[in-house]
A = this chain, B = another copy of it.
Amino acid sequence: VFPLARESGRTLRWRLHQGLKTAILTKQFAPGSRLPSTRVLAGSLNVSRSTVVEVFEQLAAEGLIEARTGAGSYVSPQLTVPPLPRVSAPEAQFPAPFTPDKSDPELFPHDVWAKLLARHVRRPGRYANCLDPVGMPELRQALASHIALSRGIVTDPDRIIVLSGTQPALFLSARVALRADDHLWCEDPCHPLARTILAQAGRRAIPVPVDGDGLDLGSAERLAPHARAAYVTPSHQFPTGAVMGLQRRLDLLDWAVRTGAWILENDEDSEFCASGTALPSLQGLDQHGTVIYLGTLNRITYSGMRVGYLVAPAAIAEAMRGAAATISAAPSLPVQAAMADFINEGHLTLHTARTRAVYKQRRDHLIGELDRHLSDHVVVGETASEVSVVITVRDHPAGDIAAHGIAWGLDLRPLAHYAVAHEQPNALVIGFIHMPPEQITAEVRRLGHLFEAVRRSAPARMR
């Protein structure tokens, strides 16, 4: 009477439910019509009667059928079927070659994570209804210990706020620490989303040039002498990869203390500094509570993890906790509990060490391949970062190379695309950590062909 979908990995109950639902929604079973009895259906489909009863119960709860006592079940007579909505075409599933700022989710120990999550997901009852809106105490404790050791962060867990990443952390920080239309320094170039977030928060980001040491403090003081905060990425400037040296760090802290300004320190990618041990965080150097520290686990795990955090200075910790609790941005409780274990049991540290080694290898391999195939065309920039490579283009505008790259499926981003106010070198930002060595080899070779093709079509347009 009724065909069951042959979908592997689905329960019989699921297939029966889907089949009946589809038959009703497509009017194969007309509104008001009587359904076969559960006994008949069970017999003809060779499934247990209790399964059919359960499916009928569910269809009734959905309003699709009605049970009439002693008279069987009927398709709801007044059923008006809403047009079934369709989702727009799904996004591309893999980052293109050379896309900056994408890490490799394959390196993450998904099996370990699955085990830890399973440990908590079946018994969240103990705390499921007593949600701490700024994050589970166990996770804040684990984070506090971890960043004390790995980044020299001085804090107690009550000043840590767990959120889904550095984006909401920056939004909250700017909203709580600054007032409407307050000026703050923002690196130029920088991640475009940072400027968008600050604008959404209603704060005015003043673009400040970047040198090999990060934010140029002298220019900053000239450009916006009354800034109330500096938003910086000292451990790994994006996209230049510059690492802020110790002296610059001390000078920046001195400015903040002198003027009563805040420092919003985004410490993303601090795990990946070539020196082996990253320089101490600004937060760790700070003696006066001027630094709001923004951290994330989405880079070192995978971007869909959605676990980040901030460390608030004591003076505004309560205000930040209040603002965070209001919008309730903490992740799902089992995810938080599993992450606490992932940290406490040493998995994060181990995974970080292994990932660093892999990324370093990929970087060395990339640079070797660039030297071999592109030394006529580009100069590879030097940074202390292990996840960042910027190449200066000799003969052609970087924008031309990027434009041609689109047809080749290469995602090349001119450095200038990340800047809004200050001129940039004629360079491309090269993402590579998401690419295994074989892919790097193949794609660098194609990049070489791309440069040759551009040279043939428009010889030496610069120099």
Interface residues of A (CB under 8 A from B): 14, 17, 54, 57-58, 60-64, 82, 84-88, 90-95, 102-106, 108, 110-111, 113-114, 117-118, 121-132, 137-138, 140-141, 144-145, 148-150, 152, 154-158, 164-165, 167-168, 171, 175, 180, 193, 196-197, 200, 277, 302-307, 323, 326-335, 345-346, 349-350, 352-353, 434
Set of chain B residues within 8 Å of A331, measured between Cβ atoms: 164, 306, 331-332
Chain B residues contacting A196 (CB-CB under 8 Å) are 326
A62, A93, A155 pick with most chain B CB within 10 angstroms: A62
Distance A104 CA – B124 CA, assembled complex (angstroms) = 12
Kindly list chain B residues whose C-beta atoms are within 8 Å of the C-beta of A307: 332
Instruction: A303 to B14: give the CA distance in the assembly, Å.
Output: 27
- Among the listed B122, B334, B352, which residue makes an inter-chain contact with A61, where contact means beta carbons less than 8 Å apart? B352
Hey, which chain B residues are within 8 Å of A94, CB to CB? 129-130
- A95 CB to nearest B CB, Å: 6
Instruction: List B contacts of A327 (CB < 8 A).
Output: 167-168, 171, 197, 200, 329
Q: Which residues of B contact A84 (CB under 8 A)?
A: 145, 148
Check if A58 sits within 8 Å of B105, measured CB to CB.
no
> Provided the pairs A86-B157, A327-B167 are in contact, do residues A332 and B353 lie with their beta carbons within 8 angstroms?
no
Known interface pairs A85-B157, A129-B302. Does A332 touch B329 (Cβ–Cβ under 8 Å)? no
Contact A88 B157 (CB under 8 A): yes
Contact B88 A103 (CB under 8 A): no
Given the contacts A277-B63, A327-B200, A128 and B85 also touching, CB distance less than 8 Å: no
Query: A102 and B118: CB pair below 8 A?
Result: no
The distance from the CB of A334 to the nearest CB of chain B, in whole angstroms, is 8
Most B CB contacts (10 A, CB to CB) among A124, A332, A346, A349 go to A332
Are B353 and A333 in touch, CB under 8 angstroms? Answer: no
**Contact, CB under 8 Å: A122 / B114:** yes
Q: Which residue of the partner chain, among B58, B93, B168, B335, contacts A332 with CB atoms under 8 Å? A: B335
Given A126-B93, A137-B90, A349-B58, A306:B333 Cβ within 8 A:
yes
- Would A332 and B350 be within 8 Å (CB), given that A121-B117, A149-B63 are in contact? no
Query: What is the chain B residue whose CB lies nearest that of A138?
Result: B87
Known: A94-B130, A306-B333. A158 touches B105 (CB 8 A): no
Taking CB atoms, residues of chain B closer than 8 Å to A323 are 200
12 other A-B residue contacts (CB within 8 Å) besides A91-B132, A110-B122: A14-B345, A17-B345, A62-B149, A85-B141, A86-B156, A87-B144, A105-B125, A114-B121, A117-B117, A165-B328, A168-B327, A306-B332
Q: Please, could you name 14 A-B residue pairs with CB atoms under 8 Å apart, sorted by A?
A: A57-B353, A61-B350, A61-B352, A62-B346, A94-B130, A105-B125, A124-B304, A129-B303, A129-B434, A180-B180, A196-B326, A304-B332, A307-B332, A331-B332
Whether B95 contacts A130 by the Cβ 8 Å rule is yes
Given known pairs A92-B130, A332-B331, A345-B14, the reply for A110 and B86 (CB within 8 Å) is no
Interface centre among A129, A138, A167 (most CB of B within 10 A): A129
Contacting pair B149 A82 (CB below 8 A):
yes
CB <8 Å contact, A124 and B149: no
Instruction: Give min CB distance, A198 to chain B, whole Å.
Output: 10
Whether A105 and B129, one on each chain, are in contact in the complex, defined by CB atoms closer than 8 angstroms, is yes
A335-B335, A345-B14, A352-B61 in contact; A158/B88 too (CB < 8 A)? yes
What's the Cα separation between A413 and B198 when bound, in Å? 40
Q: Which residues of B contact A113 (CB under 8 A)?
A: 121
Contacts of A127 in B (CB 8 A): 93, 304
Complex Cα distance, B195 from A41, in Å, reads 53
- A125/B149 in contact, CB under 8 A: no
Q: Which residues of B contact A154 (CB under 8 A)?
A: 82
Instruction: Give the chain B neighbours of A125 by CB distance below 8 A.
Output: 105-106, 110, 302
Residues of B with C-beta under 8 A to A63: 149-150, 277
A454 to B201, CA, bound (A): 51
Q: Give chain B residues whose Cβ lies under 8 Å from the Cβ of A95.
A: 129-130
- If A95-B130, A118-B114 touch, does A61 touch B157 (CB 8 Å cutoff)? no
B91 touches A105 (CB 8 A): no
